[in-house]
Amino acid sequence: MVSFSGTVESDFLKSLPSELDNKQKLIDHSSADFETLRANLIKYVKATFPLDYNNFESSDFGVLLIELMAAVGHIQSNKADYLVNENYIGTAKSRDSVKRLLELIGVRMKGPISAAANASLTFPVATAVSNPSSLTLSPSDRVITISSPEDGGTLSYTIYKVNSNGTVDLTDPTQNLEFPTTVDGGVVTITDAVLLEGALVSEQGIFNSPEDIKTINLAQSPYVERSAQVFLTGDSSTEGVYKEEENIYFASGGDDKVFQVTTDEQFRASILFGDDSIGKSPSLGDRYVVTYRVGGGTRGNIAKGVINALISGESEGRSDSGDVITASVQITVENTSLATGGRDAESVEQAKRYAPLVFRSQDRLVTLPDFKAFANNFASNYGSTGKATASVRRAFSSANIIDLFVLERASDSQLRRATQEFKRQLLEAVETKKMITDEVIIVDGLIRTLDLVVTITLDENLRRSEARVLQSARASIVNYMGMDNTDFSEPFVPQDLIRVLLDDEKDIRFAEVTNVDKPISVGFNEIIQLNNLAIRVEYV
């Protein structure tokens, strides 16, 4: 028998809807950093487990788990931001990211560039060959190794013969160099030679792969820009010397013997040939000989006379009876000029500055920015690069005449007057891409040197760190005045230099350019270059 006490009990409250049932509403999806994530996780725990957990001391194990989750969220948030930034050319900072983005639009970041110097080769007349007519150097004898004045490491230079077009004759796949000689007072002196920084490497092989697009992966690195030269033997339609092009898809037809060089992050190079519709494709069974150099960089820029080495060679002449006779001779090799033009690999900042202009030009030169971008990215066949600007003449009768003002790079911080060979090669490259009605004149740009005296003020407690601060400040000023950060017609504004210096060097309290009190303007064909820099230190 059931008895009723008069009281009705129910747990209906459990069935009533509550905001706590929808826990997703308690999650703040805008949280990104560690502190915000930690605070929101603690807030979430307090709201969802008010009676089960209420010990939020930093030493508690539960708080440890919360902080671990906040740290993971912080890492994931930063990683997502990083990936987004690295996939946009304007915000990418990693060299690998910028390189891959530029490759999507057909622009390749340049690797290290070698220094170049004029060379003289002298040797006494051998007894066996009293009237030599030629001198032959083997590939191994062409390489000279010295200790780098910059870091004491090994530094190699390769001897090249200077032809009328500035290139090396590749018709002899053995890579022997032959110089014509004349005797003067019992001594033979050869001056039509040049030393290019980098060790000479020669590789041979056979094309035995059926792929339409054939490649050669070079074994040694870092590859020096514009140093590869390719010679093929075999099929009569494909054998001969192949010429390097920046992009074979723009610059060639089906019968053109050209190749393109691609490099990876470690500057290991691969040689890419055409497919018979865009560039000639080597035939199966063709043999190839590839020569290139490894090295490059600013460490190859040395003073005149630093190289003074002995190498061996073969002197050749004829006897009185007309027979050919040869003799081994010891040759003294010396660099008779400064070795300049050596540059490290293209920086991210420089690539981001000029690559969009190169892409916009689409391998033809129409506007003045097209000419400027092309000239600033041009590299000669020995790797030298320059700085350029373009202008059109204002006279009505000469509005189609474009003056291309050019300076050649001597180092990352210095320019020089462009050599005739560099200007000749640049003009030849421009002629194939300009409009047919345009006339391009290569003109020397003007360098305006600037001496700077900068006074910096430091706290007294930094007196012992003066050398470190001075070195860092000097590097910041030199970088600001570097060739990658200056351009033609850009004025020098001392206040801009001070702002950058104070942003870079937090230890400096005050700074002032004491010998320049107002901006210095230059002409459209002039560029400011740092000459001497003196830094004075004061303490407060």
Residue 174: predicted pLDDT: 59
Lowest-pLDDT choice from 61-65, 81-85, 142-146, 168-172: 168-172
CB atoms under 10 Å from CB of 229, counted, come to: 22
Residues facing residue 328 across a β-bridge: 314
CA distances from 393 to 22, 390, 439 (A): 73, 10, 11
Q: How far is CA 200 from the centre of its chain?
A: 20
Please name the residue that has the structure tokens 């230190």: 537
Residue 287 clears pLDDT 70, i.e. is over it? yes
Greater pLDDT, 382 or 286: 286
The pLDDT confidence band at residue 334, using thresholds 50, 70 and 90, is very high
Residue 320 clears pLDDT 80, i.e. is over it? no
- For residue 349, what is the DSSP state? H
Residue 12: predicted pLDDT: 61
Q: Is the peptide bond before 180 cis (omega within 30 degrees of 0)?
A: no
Residue 186 clears pLDDT 80, i.e. is over it? yes
Q: Which of 26-35, 45-54, 208-217, 453-462 has the highest mean pLDDT?
A: 453-462
> In the predicted model, what is the mean pLDDT of the chain?
87
Residue 438 clears pLDDT 60, i.e. is over it? yes
Instruction: Indicate the residue type of 288.
Output: Y
Residue 139: predicted pLDDT: 87
The pLDDT confidence band at residue 170, using thresholds 50, 70 and 90, is very low
- What is the mean pLDDT of the segment spanning 175-183? 85
Residues facing residue 409 across a β-bridge: 415
The pLDDT confidence band at residue 167, using thresholds 50, 70 and 90, is low
User: Among residues 313, 342, 333, which one has the least CA distance to residue 227?
Assistant: 342
Please name the residue that has the structure tokens 């001056």: 191
Residue 395: predicted pLDDT: 74
Residue 20 clears pLDDT 70, i.e. is over it? no
Greater pLDDT, 116 or 404: 404
144's tokens: 């000279």
Residue 297 clears pLDDT 50, i.e. is over it? yes
- What is the mean pLDDT of the segment spanning 74-102? 90
User: Among residues 41, 35, 34, 44, which one has the least CA distance to residue 71?
Assistant: 34
Lowest-pLDDT choice from 162-166, 187-191, 443-447: 162-166
How far apart are the C-alpha atoms of 177 and 198, rounded to whole Å?
17
* Core vs surface per residue 401-413: b (16+ CB within 10 A) or e: ebbbbbbbbbbbb
Phi and psi, residue 505, nearest 5°: -115, 100
- What is the mean pLDDT of the segment spanning 13-22? 60
Lowest-pLDDT choice from 197-201, 286-290, 320-324: 320-324
Residue 319 clears pLDDT 80, i.e. is over it? no
Greater pLDDT, 116 or 16: 116
> Cβ distance 440 to 402 under 8 Å?
yes
pLDDT in tens, 213-224: 899 999 999 999
**Please, which contacts does 9-18 make with residues 24 or more away whose CB atoms are closer than 8 Å?**
none
How far apart are the C-alpha atoms of 291 and 282, rounded to whole Å?
17
Kindly state the helix (H) or strand (E) to which residue 36 belongs, with its residue range. helix 34-48
Residue 122: predicted pLDDT: 93
Residue 168 clears pLDDT 60, i.e. is over it? no
**Based on the number of CB atoms within 10 Å of its own CB, is 390 exposed (0-12), middle (13-18) or buried (19 or more)?**
buried
Phi and psi, residue 134, nearest 5°: -155, 160
How far apart are the C-alpha atoms of 318 and 181, rounded to whole Å?
13
Kindly state the helix (H) or strand (E) to which residue 407 belongs, with its residue range. strand 401-409
User: Among residues 338, 527, 382, which one has the least CA distance to residue 444?
Assistant: 527
Phi and psi, residue 170, nearest 5°: -105, 15
Instruction: Indicate the residue type of 401.
Output: I
The pLDDT confidence band at residue 456, using thresholds 50, 70 and 90, is very high
Torsion of CA 182, 184, 187, 191, to 10 degrees: -60
Q: Is the peptide bond before 222 cis (omega within 30 degrees of 0)?
A: yes
Alpha helices in 25-91 (DSSP H): 34-48, 61-86
Residue 289 clears pLDDT 70, i.e. is over it? yes
Residue 210: predicted pLDDT: 84
Could you give the percent of the chain with pLDDT greater than 90? 49
Residue 164 clears pLDDT 90, i.e. is over it? no
